[in-house]
Amino acid sequence: MADELLRVENLNKAYGDQPVLHDINFEVNTGEVLVLLGPSGSGKSTLIRCLNGLEPYQSGDIYFKGDHVTPSSKNWQKLRQKIGMVFQSYDLFPNLKIMDNITLGPIKVQKQAKNVAEKEALALLDSVDLADYAQKYPRELSGGQKQRIAIVRALALHPEFMLFDEVTASLDPEMVRGVLEIMLDLAKQKMTMIVVTHEMNFAHQIANQVLFLEEGRILESTPGAQFFTDPKTDRAKEFLQSMDF
Amino acid sequence: MAHSGINIIFEGANFARLMGGLWVTIRVALISIAIGGVLGILLGVLRTFHNRLLRFVLRLYLEFFRIIPTVALLFLFYYILPKDMHLNLPAEEVAVIVFTLWMAAEASDIVRGALESVPQHQIESGLAIGLSRNQLYRFVLVPQSIKLMMPALINLVTRIIKTTSLLLMISVLDVINVGQQIIEANQQQYPQGAFWIYGAIFFLYFIICYPFSLLAKRLQRNK
């Protein structure tokens, strides 16, 4: 277990009296891709948001590289530099040019020199074929382009792992592919990722491990190859059938 | 035209005195708007924090200045400061204090509203790249909300300028007060003086406030 990156133990969360996550336990090793699947409302997004402190949890423990994470806002703020997160609605900053969107974190949070940060941002932009857009504002870009920029913005901080929360859910179908290809590329480069998605083919391609959730519980944790051909639970079979997979 | 009423404006030093009064008006308004504006942004930011006591105190402050008529505030500060706090300030400085506090109170509400209308997603994606709360406000929330708050702020600025016409109540020699003095001093020679002097004052306020009105309209269109 030398390469364990993230471990979650007995995580519980409720909104008021309404429990949303029950006794969640799992771990992710460096270089692995963990995919969270389940019907909507099963708690996938809530869980992934707990992993970088955007959602508070009532009990349980998160360990990052073996160290216990103290859930204080100061501590989370420090940790978030090591955790890249991409959201469903991309959320670039509309008041900043693409270049400044990407370099805001590296320059202001990590105190990198401006020219170093910009040089790297350009290289990253080039890798997603958007180098020409550096001096444009987000409103001038399509949804798919914005989402690619959002991934670049997260990567610019050199995160140790990435969280993807339904990043293609609000994109036009023809935009989805470009975004998914970037994620497959990242997986090839052994980036550790936790992915919430409804794209089953993509999940099948990318997942080392699948967590199947329903009503805030993990119903099964199965290696990716097996989950899509021979899931352990009947509920997961039903789910896969309903997804037309 | 020997006895045309309009001559009252140019009789003796009248015109220069009116301009002097106008300068007092503008000075009080500008200082209050500048200091009150900065203070208002700070208080507006504080009002978006989740500290209950802080929110309550700032809310109380806003309502105090919003509910009590400005004349009453002017009298309150003009008579109570020297009597109970032994602070004997010139009337013009009392006016600046009252107008600054009023500007800050109303501006804080505009700023708070604009900040709170920035989508929650923006806050989260700012936090996700590791920004601290200060950085989040400085680079994300405040720049995005400035556009939203501009029309209301400009409207407030014109209200402040117009309300300086109450300054004569505490004997500040503003443009209205000077105008009244001129009218009274020339009562014999220019029985119609009030018409012309107030007409001139109307015109002066108009040329100060109208550009703000145009600016607000333009910003509204560009939104």
Q: A48-64 pLDDT, tens per residue? A: 999 999 999 999 999 99
Three-state DSSP class for B172? coil
| CATH code where residue B129 lies | 1.10.3720.10
**Closest to A138 (Cα-Cα) out of A92, A88, A85:** A92
Of B193, B207, B176, residue with least CA distance to B6: B193
Task: Give how many domains chain B has, as a whole number.
Answer: 1
Task: Confirm if A115 and A152 have CB atoms less than 8 A apart.
Answer: no
Q: Collapsing DSSP states into helix, strand and coil, what is residue A242?
A: helix
Q: What's the number of domains chain A is made of?
A: 1
Does B117 lie at the interface with A, CB-CB under 8 angstroms? no
Domain with B126, as residue range(s), is: 5-222
Closest partner residue to B127 (CB to CB) among A54, A84, A110 is A54
Average pLDDT over residues A147-173: 94
Which residue in chain B is spatially nearest to A50 when comparing CA positions?
B128
Task: Tell me which H or E stretch contains A85.
Answer: strand A83-86
pLDDT at A1 over 80: no
pLDDT by residue for chain B (223 residues), tens digit each? Answer: 456 788 888 888 888 999 999 999 999 999 999 999 999 999 999 999 989 999 999 999 999 999 999 999 999 999 887 877 777 888 899 999 999 999 999 999 999 999 999 999 999 999 999 999 999 999 999 999 988 898 899 999 999 999 998 998 888 888 999 999 999 988 888 888 889 999 999 999 999 999 988 888 887 776 5
Whole-angstrom distance, CA of residue B176 vs CA of residue A89: 56
- Residues in A closer than 8 angstroms to B140, CB to CB, are 93, 95
Nearest to A172 by CA among A145, A149, A207: A145
Angle between helices A143-155 and A173-188 (to 10 degrees): 20
Between helix B91-116 and helix B14-47 the angle, nearest 10°, is 40
Bridge partners (DSSP) of residue A213 are A218
CA distances from B65 to B31, B74, B151 (A): 18, 11, 21
For the record, the structure tokens of A169 come out as 């859910």
CA distances to A178, B46, B49, B56 from B52, in Å: 46, 11, 8, 6
**Residue type at position B135:** Q
Per this entry, what is the length of chain B?
223
Its pTM surpasses 0.90: no
The CA distance from A46 to A149, in Å, is 24
Is the model's pLDDT at A2 over the cut of 70?
Answer: no
Other Cβ atoms less than 10 A from the Cβ of B190: the count is 22
For an interface test with A, the pick among B123, B127, B129, B135 (most A C-beta atoms closer than 10 Å) comes out as B129
Q: CB B127 to CB A94 under 8 A?
A: no
List of E strands, A30-68: 33-37, 59-64, 67-68
Partners of A96 on chain B (C-beta within 8 Å) are 139
Q: What whole-number distance in Å separates Cα of residue A85 and Cα of residue A10?
A: 23
- Token duo for residue B160: 């402040």
Residue with tokens 């004052």: B201
Cβ proximity of B39 and B100 under 8 Å: yes
Residue A25's SS3 state is strand
A77–B132: do the CB atoms touch at under 8 Å? yes
Structure tokens at B97: 């204090």
Rg (CA), chain B: 22
Chain B partners within 8 Å of A85 (Cβ):
125, 128
Decide: A224 and A49 in contact? Cβ < 8 Å. Answer: no
Option in B119, B122, B129 nearest A109 (CB): B129
Chain A touched by B122 (CB under 8 Å)? yes
CATH value at residue A78: 3.40.50.300
- Tell me what the mean pLDDT of segment A6-35 comes to: 94
User: Can you give the pLDDT at residue B223?
Assistant: 53
